[in-house]
A and B are shown apart, each in its own frame.
Chain A
Amino acid sequence: MDETIRTVLAEHGKLAVDVNAIDEHTDLFASGMTSHASVNVMLALEDAFDIEFAESMLKKSTFESIASIRAGVLEMTSS
Protein backbone atom coordinates (compact mmCIF):
# COMPACT_ATOMS: atom_id res chain seq x y z
CA MET A 1 0.00 0.00 0.00
CA ASP A 2 2.80 2.44 0.91
CA GLU A 3 4.31 1.75 -2.49
CA THR A 4 1.10 2.85 -4.23
CA ILE A 5 0.79 5.92 -2.00
CA ARG A 6 4.35 6.93 -2.84
CA THR A 7 3.69 6.43 -6.56
CA VAL A 8 0.60 8.66 -6.36
CA LEU A 9 2.57 11.29 -4.43
CA ALA A 10 5.40 11.18 -6.96
CA GLU A 11 2.95 11.69 -9.82
CA HIS A 12 0.60 14.24 -8.30
CA GLY A 13 2.03 15.61 -5.05
CA LYS A 14 4.31 18.21 -6.66
CA LEU A 15 6.71 17.71 -3.75
CA ALA A 16 9.86 19.78 -3.63
CA VAL A 17 11.77 16.66 -2.53
CA ASP A 18 12.13 13.08 -3.79
CA VAL A 19 9.23 11.05 -2.40
CA ASN A 20 11.63 8.21 -1.55
CA ALA A 21 13.72 10.55 0.56
CA ILE A 22 10.90 11.25 3.05
CA ASP A 23 9.65 9.04 5.84
CA GLU A 24 6.05 8.21 6.58
CA HIS A 25 5.66 11.02 9.10
CA THR A 26 7.17 13.83 7.01
CA ASP A 27 4.74 16.76 6.63
CA LEU A 28 3.80 16.70 2.96
CA PHE A 29 2.49 20.27 3.00
CA ALA A 30 5.79 21.48 4.44
CA SER A 31 7.46 19.47 1.66
CA GLY A 32 5.82 21.56 -1.06
CA MET A 33 2.44 19.91 -1.63
CA THR A 34 -0.08 22.68 -2.31
CA SER A 35 -3.77 22.32 -1.48
CA HIS A 36 -4.35 22.19 -5.24
CA ALA A 37 -1.95 19.25 -5.55
CA SER A 38 -3.54 17.54 -2.55
CA VAL A 39 -6.85 17.41 -4.41
CA ASN A 40 -5.15 15.60 -7.28
CA VAL A 41 -3.48 13.22 -4.83
CA MET A 42 -6.90 12.55 -3.31
CA LEU A 43 -8.45 11.81 -6.71
CA ALA A 44 -5.58 9.51 -7.71
CA LEU A 45 -5.78 7.63 -4.39
CA GLU A 46 -9.51 7.10 -4.88
CA ASP A 47 -8.81 5.66 -8.31
CA ALA A 48 -5.83 3.53 -7.21
CA PHE A 49 -7.64 1.96 -4.23
CA ASP A 50 -11.15 2.09 -5.72
CA ILE A 51 -12.48 4.00 -2.73
CA GLU A 52 -14.33 7.25 -2.09
CA PHE A 53 -13.14 9.28 0.89
CA ALA A 54 -15.97 10.28 3.21
CA GLU A 55 -16.67 14.01 3.51
CA SER A 56 -15.40 13.95 7.09
CA MET A 57 -11.98 12.78 5.83
CA LEU A 58 -11.60 15.50 3.23
CA LYS A 59 -9.39 17.68 5.36
CA LYS A 60 -5.77 18.64 5.49
CA SER A 61 -4.83 16.31 8.33
CA THR A 62 -5.86 13.22 6.29
CA PHE A 63 -3.29 14.10 3.65
CA GLU A 64 -0.48 15.57 5.68
CA SER A 65 1.78 12.48 5.72
CA ILE A 66 2.14 9.04 4.19
CA ALA A 67 1.10 7.53 7.55
CA SER A 68 -2.08 9.65 7.74
CA ILE A 69 -2.95 8.81 4.13
CA ARG A 70 -2.47 5.10 4.88
CA ALA A 71 -4.75 5.38 7.92
CA GLY A 72 -7.36 7.13 5.78
CA VAL A 73 -7.21 4.57 2.99
CA LEU A 74 -7.43 1.71 5.52
CA GLU A 75 -10.46 3.31 7.14
CA MET A 76 -12.23 3.49 3.79
CA THR A 77 -11.28 0.00 2.62
CA SER A 78 -12.31 -1.63 5.89
CA SER A 79 -15.74 -0.01 5.95
Chain B
Amino acid sequence: MRGIITERGTDVAPGVAAPTSVAQRMAAIAEAVAGPAADEVDALGRFPSETIGALQSEGLLTAMVPEDLGGLGATISELSEGLVALGRHCASSAMVVAMHHIQVACLVRHGRNDHLRAYLSETVDHQYLLASATTEVGTGGDVRSSVCAVDVAGGRFHVTKQAPVISYGSFADAVLVTSRRSADSPESDQVLVLCRPPGLRLEQVGEWNALGFRGTCSPGFVLEASGDAGAIFDDPYSEISTRTMLPVAHILWSSLWLGIATAAMDRARRFVQAEARKRPGTTPAAAMRLADTAALHQQFADLVRSSALRFEEVAEDPERASSLGFAIAMNSLKVSSSTLVVDVVRQCMVICGLAAYRLDGTFSLGRHLRDSMGASLMVNNDRIMANNAQLLLVHRGE
Protein backbone atom coordinates (compact mmCIF):
# COMPACT_ATOMS: atom_id res chain seq x y z
CA MET B 1 0.00 0.00 0.00
CA ARG B 2 1.31 3.40 -0.96
CA GLY B 3 2.05 5.72 1.93
CA ILE B 4 1.74 9.44 2.22
CA ILE B 5 4.55 11.55 0.84
CA THR B 6 5.77 13.92 3.53
CA GLU B 7 7.22 17.35 2.86
CA ARG B 8 10.70 15.90 2.89
CA GLY B 9 9.68 13.51 0.19
CA THR B 10 10.03 10.35 2.26
CA ASP B 11 7.51 7.65 1.75
CA VAL B 12 5.95 6.72 5.07
CA ALA B 13 3.07 4.51 6.06
CA PRO B 14 -0.26 6.28 6.65
CA GLY B 15 -0.66 7.31 10.24
CA VAL B 16 3.07 7.46 10.92
CA ALA B 17 3.47 11.12 10.03
CA ALA B 18 0.70 13.51 9.08
CA PRO B 19 1.18 15.61 5.97
CA THR B 20 1.99 19.15 6.99
CA SER B 21 1.33 21.72 4.30
CA VAL B 22 -2.19 22.96 3.58
CA ALA B 23 -2.05 21.57 0.04
CA GLN B 24 -0.86 18.17 1.28
CA ARG B 25 -3.53 18.00 3.95
CA MET B 26 -6.22 18.88 1.43
CA ALA B 27 -4.81 16.28 -0.96
CA ALA B 28 -4.88 13.61 1.76
CA ILE B 29 -8.56 14.37 2.49
CA ALA B 30 -9.29 14.42 -1.24
CA GLU B 31 -7.91 10.93 -1.64
CA ALA B 32 -9.17 9.37 1.57
CA VAL B 33 -12.58 11.04 1.94
CA ALA B 34 -13.76 12.96 -1.15
CA GLY B 35 -12.73 10.38 -3.76
CA PRO B 36 -14.55 7.38 -2.28
CA ALA B 37 -17.78 9.43 -1.93
CA ALA B 38 -17.59 11.21 -5.31
CA ASP B 39 -19.76 8.86 -7.37
CA GLU B 40 -22.48 8.77 -4.74
CA VAL B 41 -22.40 12.56 -4.26
CA ASP B 42 -22.81 12.88 -8.03
CA ALA B 43 -25.46 10.20 -8.45
CA LEU B 44 -27.68 11.39 -5.62
CA GLY B 45 -26.86 15.08 -6.00
CA ARG B 46 -26.15 15.15 -2.29
CA PHE B 47 -23.99 17.55 -0.28
CA PRO B 48 -20.45 16.19 0.30
CA SER B 49 -20.74 16.57 4.06
CA GLU B 50 -17.96 14.07 4.89
CA THR B 51 -15.41 16.07 2.89
CA ILE B 52 -16.43 19.40 4.37
CA GLY B 53 -16.42 17.81 7.84
CA ALA B 54 -12.91 16.44 7.33
CA LEU B 55 -11.63 19.84 6.20
CA GLN B 56 -13.33 21.50 9.17
CA SER B 57 -11.74 19.09 11.62
CA GLU B 58 -8.30 20.22 10.43
CA GLY B 59 -9.12 23.94 10.39
CA LEU B 60 -8.77 23.97 6.62
CA LEU B 61 -11.88 26.07 5.97
CA THR B 62 -9.89 29.03 7.23
CA ALA B 63 -6.61 27.99 5.62
CA MET B 64 -6.25 31.34 3.85
CA VAL B 65 -6.91 33.44 6.97
CA PRO B 66 -3.63 35.06 8.13
CA GLU B 67 -2.04 33.46 11.17
CA ASP B 68 -2.40 36.59 13.30
CA LEU B 69 -6.16 36.32 12.78
CA GLY B 70 -6.15 32.66 13.78
CA GLY B 71 -5.95 30.97 10.38
CA LEU B 72 -3.27 28.85 8.75
CA GLY B 73 -1.83 31.68 6.64
CA ALA B 74 -1.89 29.70 3.38
CA THR B 75 -1.17 31.53 0.14
CA ILE B 76 -3.57 31.35 -2.78
CA SER B 77 -0.99 29.18 -4.57
CA GLU B 78 -1.13 26.61 -1.76
CA LEU B 79 -4.91 26.68 -1.71
CA SER B 80 -4.94 26.36 -5.48
CA GLU B 81 -2.77 23.26 -5.25
CA GLY B 82 -5.11 21.79 -2.63
CA LEU B 83 -8.11 22.44 -4.85
CA VAL B 84 -6.46 20.75 -7.82
CA ALA B 85 -6.19 17.65 -5.63
CA LEU B 86 -9.77 17.96 -4.43
CA GLY B 87 -11.08 18.57 -7.97
CA ARG B 88 -9.19 15.50 -9.12
CA HIS B 89 -11.23 13.33 -6.75
CA CYS B 90 -14.59 15.13 -6.42
CA ALA B 91 -15.32 18.28 -8.40
CA SER B 92 -18.52 19.02 -6.46
CA SER B 93 -16.64 19.01 -3.14
CA ALA B 94 -13.91 21.15 -4.65
CA MET B 95 -16.43 23.67 -5.99
CA VAL B 96 -18.08 24.02 -2.58
CA VAL B 97 -14.67 24.52 -0.96
CA ALA B 98 -13.57 27.00 -3.64
CA MET B 99 -16.74 29.09 -3.31
CA HIS B 100 -16.39 29.09 0.46
CA HIS B 101 -12.78 30.31 0.28
CA ILE B 102 -13.78 33.12 -2.09
CA GLN B 103 -16.12 34.40 0.64
CA VAL B 104 -13.42 34.01 3.28
CA ALA B 105 -11.02 36.00 1.10
CA CYS B 106 -13.57 38.85 0.88
CA LEU B 107 -14.01 38.77 4.65
CA VAL B 108 -10.25 38.78 5.29
CA ARG B 109 -9.41 41.50 2.77
CA HIS B 110 -12.44 43.78 3.09
CA GLY B 111 -14.22 43.00 6.36
CA ARG B 112 -12.26 45.47 8.44
CA ASN B 113 -14.91 46.78 10.84
CA ASP B 114 -15.18 45.33 14.36
CA HIS B 115 -18.36 43.39 13.61
CA LEU B 116 -16.88 41.61 10.58
CA ARG B 117 -13.52 41.03 12.29
CA ALA B 118 -15.37 39.39 15.20
CA TYR B 119 -17.27 37.22 12.74
CA LEU B 120 -14.03 36.16 11.05
CA SER B 121 -12.68 35.11 14.41
CA GLU B 122 -15.86 33.07 15.03
CA THR B 123 -15.48 31.55 11.58
CA VAL B 124 -11.99 30.39 12.51
CA ASP B 125 -13.17 28.93 15.83
CA HIS B 126 -16.29 27.20 14.51
CA GLN B 127 -15.08 26.51 10.95
CA TYR B 128 -18.21 28.08 9.48
CA LEU B 129 -19.09 27.34 5.87
CA LEU B 130 -19.84 30.54 3.94
CA ALA B 131 -22.04 30.75 0.83
CA SER B 132 -22.72 33.51 -1.65
CA ALA B 133 -25.81 35.09 -3.21
CA THR B 134 -24.66 37.37 -6.03
CA THR B 135 -27.06 36.48 -8.84
CA GLU B 136 -30.63 37.72 -8.65
CA VAL B 137 -33.91 37.26 -10.45
CA GLY B 138 -34.36 40.25 -12.78
CA THR B 139 -30.73 41.19 -13.50
CA GLY B 140 -30.21 38.83 -16.44
CA GLY B 141 -27.17 37.18 -14.86
CA ASP B 142 -25.29 40.46 -14.37
CA VAL B 143 -23.73 40.13 -10.91
CA ARG B 144 -22.62 43.75 -10.98
CA SER B 145 -26.17 45.01 -10.63
CA SER B 146 -28.81 44.38 -7.97
CA VAL B 147 -32.55 44.80 -7.75
CA CYS B 148 -32.83 44.30 -4.00
CA ALA B 149 -31.80 47.09 -1.64
CA VAL B 150 -30.58 47.04 1.93
CA ASP B 151 -32.57 49.11 4.44
CA VAL B 152 -30.62 50.52 7.35
CA ALA B 153 -32.39 52.02 10.35
CA GLY B 154 -31.33 52.35 13.98
CA GLY B 155 -28.08 50.48 13.45
CA ARG B 156 -29.87 47.46 11.94
CA PHE B 157 -30.12 46.27 8.34
CA HIS B 158 -32.81 44.40 6.49
CA VAL B 159 -32.69 42.88 3.01
CA THR B 160 -34.80 40.50 0.90
CA LYS B 161 -33.37 38.90 -2.23
CA GLN B 162 -34.77 36.51 -4.85
CA ALA B 163 -31.72 34.38 -5.56
CA PRO B 164 -32.03 31.98 -8.53
CA VAL B 165 -29.04 30.04 -7.18
CA ILE B 166 -27.36 29.78 -3.80
CA SER B 167 -24.88 26.94 -3.88
CA TYR B 168 -25.05 24.80 -0.70
CA GLY B 169 -27.42 27.45 0.70
CA SER B 170 -29.14 24.87 2.92
CA PHE B 171 -25.80 23.78 4.39
CA ALA B 172 -24.09 27.14 4.92
CA ASP B 173 -23.61 28.97 8.21
CA ALA B 174 -23.85 32.38 6.55
CA VAL B 175 -24.44 33.91 3.11
CA LEU B 176 -22.62 36.92 1.66
CA VAL B 177 -25.24 38.85 -0.28
CA THR B 178 -24.92 41.64 -2.84
CA SER B 179 -27.54 44.36 -2.75
CA ARG B 180 -28.09 47.97 -3.72
CA ARG B 181 -26.67 50.32 -1.09
CA SER B 182 -30.12 51.81 -0.38
CA ALA B 183 -33.59 51.99 -1.88
CA ASP B 184 -32.50 55.20 -3.66
CA SER B 185 -29.31 53.76 -5.13
CA PRO B 186 -28.91 52.82 -8.80
CA GLU B 187 -28.60 49.11 -9.66
CA SER B 188 -24.82 49.33 -10.00
CA ASP B 189 -24.16 50.90 -6.57
CA GLN B 190 -23.82 47.67 -4.60
CA VAL B 191 -22.72 46.64 -1.14
CA LEU B 192 -21.85 43.22 0.26
CA VAL B 193 -23.75 42.11 3.36
CA LEU B 194 -22.97 39.21 5.68
CA CYS B 195 -26.28 37.48 6.45
CA ARG B 196 -26.37 34.89 9.23
CA PRO B 197 -28.70 33.26 11.72
CA PRO B 198 -30.70 34.05 13.74
CA GLY B 199 -31.56 36.93 11.38
CA LEU B 200 -31.35 34.80 8.23
CA ARG B 201 -34.31 33.03 6.62
CA LEU B 202 -33.90 30.97 3.46
CA GLU B 203 -36.93 29.64 1.65
CA GLN B 204 -35.93 27.15 -1.01
CA VAL B 205 -37.44 27.57 -4.47
CA GLY B 206 -37.28 24.46 -6.66
CA GLU B 207 -34.67 21.73 -6.79
CA TRP B 208 -31.09 21.43 -8.04
CA ASN B 209 -31.02 18.67 -10.62
CA ALA B 210 -28.26 19.61 -13.05
CA LEU B 211 -25.93 17.94 -15.54
CA GLY B 212 -22.85 18.37 -13.36
CA PHE B 213 -21.57 19.76 -10.07
CA ARG B 214 -24.55 17.96 -8.64
CA GLY B 215 -23.18 17.85 -5.10
CA THR B 216 -23.04 21.65 -4.85
CA CYS B 217 -26.80 21.54 -4.11
CA SER B 218 -27.56 24.90 -5.76
CA PRO B 219 -31.31 25.56 -5.90
CA GLY B 220 -32.91 29.00 -5.78
CA PHE B 221 -33.91 30.69 -2.56
CA VAL B 222 -35.86 33.66 -1.30
CA LEU B 223 -33.45 35.14 1.20
CA GLU B 224 -34.58 37.45 3.95
CA ALA B 225 -32.07 38.76 6.45
CA SER B 226 -31.67 41.34 9.15
CA GLY B 227 -29.06 42.13 11.77
CA ASP B 228 -26.43 44.55 13.02
CA ALA B 229 -25.55 47.11 10.31
CA GLY B 230 -21.89 46.29 10.93
CA ALA B 231 -22.54 43.26 8.71
CA ILE B 232 -22.40 45.59 5.70
CA PHE B 233 -18.87 45.74 4.28
CA ASP B 234 -17.30 49.21 4.23
CA ASP B 235 -15.72 48.83 0.79
CA PRO B 236 -18.19 49.13 -2.10
CA TYR B 237 -18.89 45.80 -3.82
CA SER B 238 -17.36 47.12 -7.07
CA GLU B 239 -14.01 47.32 -5.29
CA ILE B 240 -14.43 43.98 -3.48
CA SER B 241 -15.29 42.34 -6.79
CA THR B 242 -12.39 43.84 -8.76
CA ARG B 243 -9.68 43.39 -6.16
CA THR B 244 -10.72 40.12 -4.55
CA MET B 245 -13.88 38.24 -5.47
CA LEU B 246 -13.37 38.05 -9.20
CA PRO B 247 -9.64 37.20 -9.31
CA VAL B 248 -9.85 34.77 -6.38
CA ALA B 249 -12.93 33.08 -7.89
CA HIS B 250 -11.32 32.68 -11.28
CA ILE B 251 -8.09 31.29 -9.79
CA LEU B 252 -9.81 28.85 -7.43
CA TRP B 253 -12.38 27.68 -9.99
CA SER B 254 -9.59 27.19 -12.53
CA SER B 255 -7.70 25.13 -9.96
CA LEU B 256 -10.50 22.65 -9.46
CA TRP B 257 -11.18 22.51 -13.21
CA LEU B 258 -7.51 21.64 -13.59
CA GLY B 259 -8.19 18.89 -11.06
CA ILE B 260 -10.96 17.48 -13.30
CA ALA B 261 -8.60 17.59 -16.30
CA THR B 262 -5.88 15.94 -14.23
CA ALA B 263 -8.21 13.09 -13.25
CA ALA B 264 -9.05 12.56 -16.92
CA MET B 265 -5.33 12.55 -17.76
CA ASP B 266 -4.73 9.97 -15.02
CA ARG B 267 -7.24 7.65 -16.68
CA ALA B 268 -5.96 8.27 -20.20
CA ARG B 269 -2.36 7.63 -19.14
CA ARG B 270 -3.26 4.41 -17.35
CA PHE B 271 -5.28 3.29 -20.36
CA VAL B 272 -2.43 3.84 -22.83
CA GLN B 273 0.09 2.24 -20.49
CA ALA B 274 -2.14 -0.82 -20.12
CA GLU B 275 -2.30 -1.07 -23.92
CA ALA B 276 1.47 -0.72 -24.14
CA ARG B 277 1.98 -3.55 -21.66
CA LYS B 278 -0.09 -5.89 -23.80
CA ARG B 279 2.23 -5.38 -26.79
CA PRO B 280 5.68 -4.24 -25.74
CA GLY B 281 7.59 -2.80 -28.68
CA THR B 282 4.47 -1.45 -30.38
CA THR B 283 3.48 2.10 -29.48
CA PRO B 284 -0.29 2.13 -28.88
CA ALA B 285 -2.33 4.11 -31.40
CA ALA B 286 -3.61 6.45 -28.69
CA ALA B 287 -0.11 7.31 -27.43
CA MET B 288 0.30 10.23 -29.86
CA ARG B 289 -2.99 11.73 -28.78
CA LEU B 290 -1.94 11.26 -25.15
CA ALA B 291 1.26 13.20 -25.90
CA ASP B 292 -0.78 16.00 -27.51
CA THR B 293 -3.18 16.08 -24.57
CA ALA B 294 -0.32 16.10 -22.08
CA ALA B 295 0.95 19.30 -23.73
CA LEU B 296 -2.52 20.83 -23.43
CA HIS B 297 -2.73 19.79 -19.79
CA GLN B 298 0.67 21.32 -19.10
CA GLN B 299 -0.46 24.65 -20.61
CA PHE B 300 -3.47 24.50 -18.35
CA ALA B 301 -1.46 23.68 -15.21
CA ASP B 302 1.10 26.40 -15.90
CA LEU B 303 -1.65 28.95 -16.58
CA VAL B 304 -3.28 28.23 -13.23
CA ARG B 305 -0.01 28.35 -11.30
CA SER B 306 1.19 31.55 -12.91
CA SER B 307 -2.19 33.22 -12.37
CA ALA B 308 -2.07 32.43 -8.66
CA LEU B 309 1.41 33.96 -8.46
CA ARG B 310 0.21 36.95 -10.47
CA PHE B 311 -2.50 37.54 -7.88
CA GLU B 312 -0.01 37.22 -5.02
CA GLU B 313 2.18 39.86 -6.66
CA VAL B 314 -0.55 42.51 -6.84
CA ALA B 315 -2.79 41.43 -3.93
CA GLU B 316 -1.56 44.06 -1.48
CA ASP B 317 -1.36 46.86 -4.03
CA PRO B 318 -4.87 48.26 -4.66
CA GLU B 319 -3.61 50.24 -7.64
CA ARG B 320 -2.25 47.22 -9.50
CA ALA B 321 -5.08 44.92 -8.38
CA SER B 322 -7.55 47.43 -9.89
CA SER B 323 -5.62 47.89 -13.13
CA LEU B 324 -7.13 47.07 -16.52
CA GLY B 325 -4.30 44.71 -17.37
CA PHE B 326 -4.92 42.60 -14.27
CA ALA B 327 -8.70 42.54 -14.84
CA ILE B 328 -8.23 41.42 -18.44
CA ALA B 329 -5.76 38.73 -17.35
CA MET B 330 -8.10 37.35 -14.69
CA ASN B 331 -11.02 37.30 -17.13
CA SER B 332 -8.89 35.58 -19.76
CA LEU B 333 -7.82 33.00 -17.18
CA LYS B 334 -11.44 31.99 -16.57
CA VAL B 335 -12.29 31.74 -20.25
CA SER B 336 -9.10 29.82 -21.10
CA SER B 337 -9.29 27.33 -18.26
CA SER B 338 -13.00 26.64 -18.66
CA THR B 339 -12.29 25.86 -22.32
CA LEU B 340 -9.15 23.82 -21.61
CA VAL B 341 -10.92 21.57 -19.10
CA VAL B 342 -13.46 20.47 -21.71
CA ASP B 343 -10.74 20.03 -24.34
CA VAL B 344 -8.59 17.86 -22.09
CA VAL B 345 -11.49 15.68 -20.87
CA ARG B 346 -12.79 15.25 -24.43
CA GLN B 347 -9.35 14.20 -25.71
CA CYS B 348 -8.99 11.76 -22.82
CA MET B 349 -12.35 10.28 -23.73
CA VAL B 350 -11.17 9.68 -27.29
CA ILE B 351 -7.98 8.09 -25.92
CA CYS B 352 -9.86 5.67 -23.65
CA GLY B 353 -12.69 5.13 -26.15
CA LEU B 354 -15.70 3.15 -25.02
CA ALA B 355 -14.03 2.44 -21.67
CA ALA B 356 -14.44 6.16 -20.92
CA TYR B 357 -17.85 6.49 -22.55
CA ARG B 358 -19.47 3.79 -20.46
CA LEU B 359 -20.72 4.90 -17.07
CA ASP B 360 -19.15 2.06 -15.12
CA GLY B 361 -15.57 0.85 -14.92
CA THR B 362 -12.33 2.47 -13.87
CA PHE B 363 -11.88 4.50 -17.07
CA SER B 364 -15.33 6.11 -17.10
CA LEU B 365 -15.20 9.86 -17.74
CA GLY B 366 -18.93 10.58 -17.67
CA ARG B 367 -18.87 12.55 -14.43
CA HIS B 368 -15.78 14.48 -15.48
CA LEU B 369 -17.28 15.43 -18.84
CA ARG B 370 -20.55 16.56 -17.24
CA ASP B 371 -18.76 18.57 -14.56
CA SER B 372 -16.40 20.16 -17.07
CA MET B 373 -19.30 21.48 -19.15
CA GLY B 374 -20.39 23.69 -16.26
CA ALA B 375 -17.16 25.69 -16.26
CA SER B 376 -17.97 27.93 -19.21
CA LEU B 377 -21.50 28.58 -17.95
CA MET B 378 -20.95 29.71 -14.38
CA VAL B 379 -20.55 33.39 -15.18
CA ASN B 380 -20.98 32.82 -18.88
CA ASN B 381 -17.81 33.03 -20.99
CA ASP B 382 -19.63 35.19 -23.53
CA ARG B 383 -20.36 37.76 -20.83
CA ILE B 384 -16.73 37.72 -19.67
CA MET B 385 -15.44 38.10 -23.22
CA ALA B 386 -17.84 41.01 -23.84
CA ASN B 387 -16.40 42.62 -20.72
CA ASN B 388 -12.82 42.09 -21.94
CA ALA B 389 -13.75 43.41 -25.39
CA GLN B 390 -14.91 46.60 -23.71
CA LEU B 391 -11.78 46.89 -21.53
CA LEU B 392 -9.50 46.34 -24.52
CA LEU B 393 -10.99 49.44 -26.17
CA VAL B 394 -9.01 51.52 -23.71
CA HIS B 395 -6.22 49.21 -22.48
CA ARG B 396 -2.73 50.40 -23.46
CA GLY B 397 -1.14 46.98 -23.21
CA GLU B 398 1.10 47.92 -20.30
Contacts and interface: CB of A to CB of B under 8 A. Distances in A.
Given A29-B189, A29-B238, A60-B238, A34 B393 contact: no
Interface in B181-227: 181, 185-189
A64 to B, nearest CB: 11
Contacts of B189: 29-32
A76 to B, nearest CB: 13
B16 interface: no
Interface residues of A, number: 19
Chain A binding surface, main DSSP class: loop
Interface stretch (B2-10, B43-51, B258-266, B318-326): B318-326
Interface in A36-67: 36, 39, 42-43, 53-55, 58-60
Interface in B355-398: 387, 390-391, 393-396, 398
A55 B398 contact: yes
B186 A58 contact: no
A39 B188 contact: no
A36 B323 CA distance: 15
Given A54-B396, A55-B396, A59-B323, A32 B238 contact: no
Given A30-B189, A32-B188, A32-B189, A55 B393 contact: no
A16 to B, nearest CB: 4
Q: Report the interface size class on chain B.
A: 20 to 34
B394 A43 contact: yes
A39 B328 CA distance: 14
Contacts of A43: 393-394
B144 interface: yes
B145 interface: yes
Given A29-B238, A30-B189, A58-B396, A36 B390 contact: yes
A16 B186 contact: yes
Contacts of A32: 186-189
Contacts of B396: 54-55, 58
A44 to B, nearest CB: 11
B260 to A, nearest CB: 31
A15 B188 CA distance: 10
Interface of B: prevailing SS: loop
Interface in A1-53: 15-16, 29-36, 39, 42-43, 53
B187 A58 contact: no
Given A16-B186, A29-B189, A34 B144 contact: yes
A45 B9 CA distance: 59
A17 to B, nearest CB: 9
A39 B186 contact: no
Contacts of A53: 394
B145 A39 contact: no
Contacts of A33: 188
B186 to A, nearest CB: 3
Nearest to A60: B322
A43 B236 CA distance: 25
Contact of B394 (A16, A30, A39): A39
A59 B242 CA distance: 11
Nearest to B396: A55
Nearest to A37: B188
Contacts of A29: 188-189, 236, 238
A40 B236 CA distance: 22
Contacts of A16: 186
Given A34-B144, A39-B391, A54-B396, A59 B186 contact: no
Interface of A: 15-16, 29-36, 39, 42-43, 53-55, 58-60
Given A31-B186, A43-B393, A59-B323, 4 more contacts: A34-B145, A34-B188, A43-B394, A60-B238
Interface of B: 144-145, 181, 185-189, 236, 238-239, 319, 322-325, 387, 390-391, 393-396, 398
7 contacts: A15-B186, A32-B187, A35-B144, A36-B387, A58-B394, A59-B319, A60-B238
4 residue pairs, one from A and one from B, having the closest CB atoms = A32-B186, A16-B186, A55-B396, A55-B398
